Chains A and B, each alone.
Chain A
C-alpha cells in the first residue's frame, strides 16, 4: 500500500475528511480505547522553525496513542545549519521514525520532504504557504460547534496575505456548498490574488472589508489571526500594522449570539482577554479539538485501525 502524506488539505477528499472527523469523535468519546493504538511506533517532530503549540499538539496526539516522540524544536540545532537539504533530512529521518512531522520556514519544504521520505509526512507549516493540520483542526472545530460545514458565513480577519492558516482554510472550505467568505484585512495584507481568482472561477461569493465593524454582525464564524512579525522583511511595516484589529467585548456585542470566534493561536493582542469568558470564544476548545483530530490523522496515515465501539 502506497504511503500517504498530508501536505495540503486537498490531499484528503471531503469523504476522507468526514471519516477522519468521525474517528476524532470516537476518540473524544472514549480516549482510553486508543491509549495503546500506536505502541511501538515513533513520531519525529522536525521543527526548523519554532512553534510550541503545533509541535506539542502532535506530540500529545502520539503520546495519547501510546507511541513515542523524538525530534527538535528549532532548526538552529540541526544539520540544516551545516547545509543539509530537506531531501537528505527526510531520507535520514525515515531511517529513525515511523512518521514525520515537519515545520519549515521555506514554502514547499514539506512537499519536498514527502517526496524523499519513505514514511508518512505531515506538513506542520511551510513558510507562509500551507498549514493543513491547523485547517483540519479548524474544520473539525467548526463542524463540532455548529454541527455542519456548509451553508454559513465565515469572516477571516487580520493578516490574510502571509497567514497560511487562512489560505489552507479557504482552500478546504471551498469544497463545501454555500460557504460565504468575508475577508477583513488592511489593504497591505489582503488575501493573495490566487485565492480570489480561484473563488471567482468557482463562482463562490466573497467580500473584502477593511473594518471589522462593517461585517461582524453577519458572521457565523469569526476567524481571527495574528499579524505575524516573522513574515515581514521590514520592521516599520510590522509596527504600523500590528494593532490594526483588536476584538474586544464592545465589538462582540455586534456579533450574533451563535457566532463562534476561532484563532489558530498564539494570540498577541488581536483578541482582548476580556473576550475569553464569552461563551462564543472557542479558541481554547479549538486547541483541544486539534489533539483529537491529530490523533485521528496519525492513525489514518499509519493505517492503524481500532475497532469502533458497537
Chain B
C-alpha cells in the first residue's frame, strides 16, 4: 500500500472515480495555488476496486467546492484539523456552474464575446444535465474540453 503522510490542516477528497483526480485538481484551481497537494491515482478500494484521492493542505473555505458533484457525485470531503477528521461532507450538484467549463457550441455568443462569463445551469438534476445559460446547449464531457 502506498503511504502518503498525514496532513494537519486541510481536507481529503476521497472516493473519487479513478482517473478524475487531475480534472478536479484543475477545476479547483489547485494548479495555481502554493499549498501542498498529494494526488493519489488508482488507489485500491474494497468498494470501488480503484479510486483516486486528493489531499490538500489549505483552508477548505478558500476554495469553491461546488464543482465536485458535477465531476463525481460520490466524492466525500473529509475536513482535517490538527491531523484528525473533524467533519465528513457529501457533495450535491450545484444549481449553476460559472467560469469553469466552456460551452462547446461554436454558434454560442459566449464563444465570440470572450468577456462573458461561461455559465451553465442544472437543467435536470436526476439525469445530471447541465445546459449553457446562453444557448441551452447540453454540456458533454469530452477529452478535448477546455478548462477556463
A-side residues, CB < 8 A to B, are 85-87, 104-109, 111-112, 126-129, 193-194, 197, 201
Contacts and interface: CB of A to CB of B under 8 A. Distances in A.
A161 B116 CA distance: 26
Nearest to B127: A197
A201 B124 contact: yes
Among B105, B115, B135, B138, the one with the most A-chain Cβ atoms within 10 Å of its Cβ is B135
Contacts of B105: 107
Contacts of B135: 107-108, 126-127, 129
23 contacts: A85-B116, A86-B113, A87-B115, A87-B116, A104-B109, A106-B112, A107-B105, A107-B107, A107-B135, A107-B137, A108-B110, A108-B134, A108-B135, A111-B134, A112-B116, A128-B107, A129-B135, A193-B138, A194-B123, A194-B131, A197-B124, A197-B127, A197-B129
Contacts of A87: 113, 115-116
B135 to A, nearest CB: 4
Given A106-B109, A108-B110, A109-B109, A194 B116 contact: no
B108 interface: yes
B67 interface: no
B31 interface: no
B128 interface: no
Contacts of A201: 124
Nearest to A111: B134
B136 interface: yes
Contact of A85 (B107, B115, B138): B115
B132 interface: yes
Interface in B99-122: 105, 107-110, 112-113, 115-116
Among B112, B123, B124, B138, the one with the most A-chain Cβ atoms within 10 Å of its Cβ is B112
Among B108, B115, B129, B136, the one with the most A-chain Cβ atoms within 10 Å of its Cβ is B136
B55 interface: no
Given A108-B132, A108-B135, A112-B134, A127 B107 contact: yes
Given A106-B112, A109-B109, A111-B133, 5 more contacts: A107-B136, A108-B109, A194-B136, A197-B127, A197-B129
Nearest to B131: A194
Nearest to B108: A107
A108 B138 contact: no
A127 B111 CA distance: 13
Given A86-B109, A112-B109, A107 B134 contact: yes
A107 B105 CA distance: 9
Contacts of A105: 107
A104 B107 CA distance: 10
B107 A112 contact: no
Nearest to A109: B109
The 9 nearest A-B residue pairs measured at CB? A108-B134, A107-B135, A106-B109, A108-B109, A85-B113, A109-B109, A108-B135, A127-B107, A107-B107
A194 B139 CA distance: 11
Contacts of B107: 105-107, 127-128
B140 to A, nearest CB: 11
Contacts of B136: 107, 129, 194
A85 B134 CA distance: 15
Contacts of B138: 193-194
Contact of B108 (A85, A106, A194, A197): A106
A128 B138 CA distance: 14
Contacts of B110: 108
Contacts of A193: 138
Contacts of B113: 85-87, 106, 112
Contacts of A85: 113, 115-116
Contacts of B116: 85, 87, 112
A105 B111 CA distance: 12
A112 B108 CA distance: 11
